[in-house]
Amino acid sequence: MEETSNKNLAEEYSISYKLNGGVNSAKNPAIYQKGESITFNAPSKRGYRFAGFYK
């Protein structure tokens, strides 16, 4: 009998950005893997200054 395990499979999560007409940085990821460290780059929107990410 063969036994399999998925303990080594990383948990992956999709990331969506609500930019309200702004443009996302091409460096920002679309997927997050549990335990991974991410640094987000500021989006841009003409006439606005980015002040930070909020929940």
The pLDDT tens digits for 1-55 are 677 666 667 799 999 999 999 999 999 999 999 999 999 999 999 999 988 877 7
Burial code (b: 16+ CB inside 10 Å, e: under 16) for 7-42 equals eeeeeeeeeeeeeeeeeeeeeeeeeeeeeeeeeeee
**Residue 40, helix vs strand vs coil:** coil
The whole-number pLDDT of residue 51 equals 86
